[in-house]
Amino acid sequence: MSEQEKPRVLSGIQPSGSMHLGNYLGAIRNWVDDQDKYNNYFMIADYHSLNTIRNGTEMRRNRKELVAMLLACGIDPERSVLFYQSELPEHTELAWIFTSLSPLGWLERMTQYKDKMSRLTETASISTGLLTYPALQAADILLYQADLVPVGADQRQHIEFTRDLAARFNNIFGETFVLPKAEIRKEVANVPSLTNPAKKMSKSNPDGNGRIDLLDQPNVIKKKFKRATTDSFRDVVFSDDPERAGLLNILSIYKAMTGKDEATIEAEFVGKGYGDLKVAVGEATVAHLEPIQAEYKRIMADKGYIKEVMDDGADRARRIARKTLRKVRRKIGME
């Protein structure tokens, strides 16, 4: 199948701190596995991170470390396009056009914005970027005429917003944009916290024991699993019982780390307890992450490689972005 025949996919990830196992299982590993299936554009969403990162040194470090980790996990710059969002001004130009076309009510109804508003007493504490960033996200996606956008279930609304905005533009100015579809894989859409399975694993959670960072040392990984929340039952089985969400989380991670099926895993732990499971999942995770960590260190030590990869990715992404933006500018009368 040629590049033109493959569905085009846009995936973005913010450089907002260390990557954890939830990022890896929920997104990155799927990106790696699907590189031959799709025509992939992987974007470092650094403009989006401006809503939370206000330090230039931190941003530069995070961007570099994120690229190194994506490459270490298996993103192949020969098969995929990897680029910084901020390297292409087409993103912000199209975002302003979309902001001008976005009804305020559409933006105010976005769940993440409403959740943030409900937690703050002063609206001055919320940046305008939190309200308008769905328009930038829509520009990110539509600029590349993406057919599919892999997202977690919590991002479904943003893809619906993007489709609505694309349809609105098409209705006003004529057919211009492909209406993208969300690709949500329910089995890995969200990886729960190890300490509170009611919440997803998150780098913003101050409780570091709830997540496994991809660069955690072996002893740290094993200790976090030993502290993981389970339940008061004894049998080690896959169960959808909400009271056993902690156990299901650990078993699901073990399944992902080893590639074993559920029946094999349950048979492995017959007559054994949660302590045995926690030791096993810790060791399996350490073994799985060891080559990734080694490759990450190698890439970080090669000062010129990351810049070379990202310069090439920006050039390749720009070919599509410029073509789309020129079409948009003609439609709205700017050319």
Q: Which residues are catalytic?
A: 116, 200, 203
Q: Side-chain half-sphere of 116: how many Cα atoms within 13 Å?
A: 17
Among all chains, which residue has been given the structure tokens 């087409």?
90
Among all chains, which residue has been given the structure tokens 């976090």?
224
**Could you tell me if 224 and 201 are in contact, meaning their C-beta atoms sit under 8 angstroms apart?**
no
Token pair for 310: 């990202």
Phi, psi (5° rounding) for residue 11?
Answer: -125, 135
First vs last Cα of the chain: how many Å apart?
Answer: 36
* Residue 206, helix vs strand vs coil: coil
Token pair for 56: 């230039």
- Calculate the alpha carbon distances from 78 to 31, 71, 74, 160, 313 in Å: 14, 11, 11, 31, 10
> What is the C-alpha to C-alpha distance for residues 40 and 58, in angstroms, rounded to an integer?
27
For residue 304, count other CB atoms closer than 10 A to its CB: 7
Neighbour-count burial for 11-22, b at 16+ CB within 10 Å, e otherwise = bbbbbbbbbbbb
SS (H, E, C) 143-196: CCCCCEEECCHHHHHHHHHHHHHHHHHHHHHCCCCCCCEEECCHHHCCCECCCC
Looking at this protein, which amino acid is placed at residue 72? A
Select from 15, 14, 22 the least CA-distant residue to 202: 22
